């Protein structure tokens, strides 16, 4: 008896379902793609417990004919391919005919559909791949698909499911992508009675971006449009200041299908070049339209990976279009960006003017009079000089050395000026010096007051003294800095210094080198 046999149909369906239905998000993806292919303009998705308990997808598409309801749940049954030539020009999202039978093999499925406006449809129930109910039912045009108890007959698959939030994240991520790919369809996503997404279906992709990412993100988007002989590019890309930490915000759509293409994403990032920080990525929604013969979507069962026949041309086209969109306006401020006139009020700070002393005051020598000035003025100049040199009423008489009071200052070196300002006793002002205090003594010297006050200023205050801290009365006096000379034989008191002294003064004596002696032969035995 042979060992090779054909698998049972039920077991074969469960094995095939493992490739198509990986998690609840895979079920949502297949049902939503069928609704889009049916030409629906409104799709409502309702989920409970992350899709493990219940998934319901309602659409208003063309529906399923009553005689085709049972055939739709058979393997490799589809209405989108008629011959092998259609495989290389696929324009629909689904084409294999494995979605419904794979879902029905691992869950309990209820399908109600009507293809016309008559209000009469058909209802079919499947459980584990087996038909349990088939009857007529009243329904509006469209399809209502309900999937319950996913993986109820495959506990090994159910054991590897993640948490409810993780599965819900995968489902919502796909719904966001398909909503961005088809802005003309109104999508509604509800989880456990709470609404997660709702789009209007007006065809404005920017409104969908606002519904998915927020209004602030939608305001920071730039339009992206370009045409090529083989391609057409539409969408939006973000400004360089709007970035994300991962590539999760990059959405690529090819002929209405959301895909993951590293080639397209790398060409977009090359367009930004140095405008983005390191390890930061933009937000982008790119819709690429091309002939179905230029792309192969039959690569992976999930249909998320595709192959382009002219990938190099596509990458260059995407990069050139993105650079044109980013170069339309200045996004990084340049040196001439702030040179324009300001429309708002300009506030100017008032400049403070400080008093500048006249020449000859506060230690500055007076300027010499021009030649012939004394001869021209005659005796008037001498009279003015005498009046200026006379002391004012109530002021102290000038000292013999010429100072106005206080401590005496040394004489100034160099030639004396021809004229001296009033109030200096006929002598030029002397340079003010600051005495350096003596730090070892307990007293300080006063600072000399300025030689002449500024005009209009108040009389100078009493001489300021710099006070130094007096030595503490209880603190003992420090030892003298220079110690008396010691005898050469005296050793320092410190142990380390004593050891150094010994090494420095002692002589290292090596043992005498033993001379090589030649071994003398033994004397002969005298007895012999």
What does the pLDDT average to over 289-300? 87
Cα 321 from Cα 225, distance rounded (Å): 7
Hey, how many other C-beta atoms are within 10 angstroms of the C-beta on 234? Answer: 17
What does the pLDDT average to over 58-75? 90
- Sequence length of the chain is 528
3-state secondary structure of 36: helix
Most confident of 8-12, 223-227, 404-408, 513-517: 223-227
Q: Pick 313 or 388 by higher pLDDT.
A: 313
Architecture in CATH for domain 220-327: 2-Layer Sandwich (3.30)
Q: 475-486: per-residue pLDDT in tens?
A: 666 666 655 555
Q: What is the CATH class of 9-198?
A: alpha beta
Whether the predicted pLDDT of 343 surpasses 70? no
Most confident of 242-246, 344-348, 436-440, 499-503: 242-246
Q: Let me know: does 290 contact 255? Beta carbons within 8 Å.
A: yes
What are the strands, taking DSSP E only, across 14-74? Answer: 42-48, 54-59
Cα 182 from Cα 41, distance rounded (Å): 10
How does the average pLDDT of the chain come out, rounded?
A: 76
* DSSP secondary structure letter of residue 528: -
State the distance between the two ends of the chain, measured CA to CA, in whole angstroms: 112
Alpha helices in 327-409 (DSSP H): 373-377, 379-389
- Whole-number percent of the chain with pLDDT over 90: 41
Beta bridge partners, 131, equal 126
Tokens of 66: 């009553």
Which residues, 6+ apart, have CB-to-CB distance to 306 below 8 Å?
254, 257, 259, 261, 295, 296, 297, 299
Question: How far does Cα 345 stand from its chain's mean position?
Answer: 34
* Angle ∠(258,262,268) on CA atoms, nearest 5: 90
pLDDT score recorded for residue 394? 44
Cα 199 from Cα 211, distance rounded (Å): 7
pLDDT score recorded for residue 405? 46
DSSP 406-471: SS--PPPPSPPPSS--TTSTTSPPPPP-PPPPPSSSS--PPPPPPSSPPTTPPPPPPPP----PPP
3-state secondary structure of 360: coil
* Residue 128 zone, left/alpha/beta (φ > 0; ψ -120 to 50; rest): left
Q: Let me know: does 139 contact 116? Beta carbons within 8 Å.
A: no
Tell me the domain boundaries of the chain.
9-198, 220-327
* Angle ∠(414,415,418) on CA atoms, nearest 5: 150
DSSP 144-203: EEEEESTTTT-HHHHHT---HHHHHHHHHHHHHHHHHH-TTSEEEEEETTEEEEE---SS
Cα 505 from Cα 521, distance rounded (Å): 47
What is the pTM for the complete model shown?
Answer: 0.61
What are the strands, taking DSSP E only, across 276-396? Answer: 284-290, 295-296, 307-308
Cα 294 from Cα 290, distance rounded (Å): 7
pLDDT score recorded for residue 284? 96
Q: 80-117: per-residue pLDDT in tens?
A: 777 777 777 787 887 778 889 889 999 999 999 998 87
- Helix, strand, coil in percent for the chain, rounding step 5: 30, 15, 55
Q: 358-400: per-residue pLDDT in tens?
A: 555 444 454 445 444 444 444 444 444 444 444 444 444 444 4
Question: How far does Cα 170 stand from its chain's mean position?
Answer: 26
Helices 24-37 and 164-181: crossing angle, nearest 10°? 20
Cα 192 from Cα 198, distance rounded (Å): 15
3-state secondary structure of 133: strand
Q: Pick 66 or 396 by higher pLDDT.
A: 66
What does the pLDDT average to over 344-350? 57
Cα 8 from Cα 387, distance rounded (Å): 134
The CA radius of gyration of the chain, in Å to the nearest whole number, is 51
């Amino acid at each position: 008896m042979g060992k090779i046999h054909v698998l049972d149909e039920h077991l074969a369906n469960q094995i095939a379902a493992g490739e198509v239905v990986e998690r609840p998000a895979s079920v949502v993806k297949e049902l939503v793609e069928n609704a889009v292919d049916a030409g629906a303009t409104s799709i409502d998705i309702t989920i409970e417990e992350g899709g493990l308990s219940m998934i319901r997808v309602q659409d208003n598409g063309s529906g399923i004919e009553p005689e085709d309801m049972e055939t739709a749940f058979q393997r490799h049954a589809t209405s989108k391919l008629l011959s092998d030539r259609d495989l290389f020009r696929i324009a629909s999202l689904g084409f294999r005919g494995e979605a419904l039978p794979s879902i029905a093999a691992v869950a309990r499925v209820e399908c109600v559909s009507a293809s016309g406006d008559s209000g009469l449809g058909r209802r079919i129930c499947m459980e584990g791949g087996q038909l349990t109910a088939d009857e007529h039912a009243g329904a509006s045009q469209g399809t209502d698909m309900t999937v319950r108890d996913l993986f109820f007959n495959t506990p090994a698959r159910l054991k590897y499911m993640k948490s409810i939030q993780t599965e819900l994240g995968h489902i919502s991520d796909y719904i966001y992508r398909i909503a961005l790919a088809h802005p003309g369809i109104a999508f509604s996503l509800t989880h456990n009675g709470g609404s997660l997404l709702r789009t209007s279906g007006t065809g404005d992709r920017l409104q969908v971006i606002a519904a998915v990412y927020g209004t602030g993100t939608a305001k920071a988007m730039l339009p992206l449009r370009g045409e090529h002989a083989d391609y057409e590019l539409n969408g939006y890309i973000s400004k360089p200041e709007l970035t994300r930490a991962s590539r999760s915000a990059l959405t690529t759509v090819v002929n209405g299908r959301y895909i993951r293409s590293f080639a397209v994403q790398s060409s977009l990032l090359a367009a930004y070049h140095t405008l983005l920080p390191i390890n930061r990525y933009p937000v982008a929604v790119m819709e690429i339209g091309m002939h179905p013969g230029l792309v192969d979507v039959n690569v992976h069962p999930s249909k998320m990976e595709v192959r382009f026949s002219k990938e190099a041309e596509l990458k260059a086209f995407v990069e050139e279009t993105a650079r044109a969109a980013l170069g339309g306006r200045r996004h990084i401020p340049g040196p001439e960006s702030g040179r324009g006139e300001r429309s708002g009020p300009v506030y100017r700070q008032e400049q403070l003017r400080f008093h500048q002393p006249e020449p000859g005051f506060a230690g500055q020598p007076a300027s010499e009079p021009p030649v012939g000035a004394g001869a021209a003025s005659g005796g008037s100049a001498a009279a003015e000089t005498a009046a200026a040199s006379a002391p004012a009423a109530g002021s102290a008489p000038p000292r013999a050395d010429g100072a106005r009071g206080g401590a005496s200052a040394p004489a100034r070196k160099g030639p004396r000026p021809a004229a001296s300002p009033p109030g200096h006793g006929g002598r030029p002002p002397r340079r003010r010096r600051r005495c350096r205090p003596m730090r070892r003594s307990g007293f300080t010297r006063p600072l000399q007051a300025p030689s002449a006050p500024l005009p209009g200023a108040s009389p100078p205050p009493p001489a300021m003294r710099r006070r130094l801290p007096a030595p503490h009365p209880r603190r003992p006096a420090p030892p003298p800095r220079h110690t008396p000379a010691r005898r050469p034989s005296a050793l320092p008191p410190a142990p380390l210094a004593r050891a150094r002294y010994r090494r420095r003064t002692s002589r290292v004596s090596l043992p005498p080198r033993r001379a090589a002696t030649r071994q003398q032969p033994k004397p002969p035995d005298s007895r012999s």
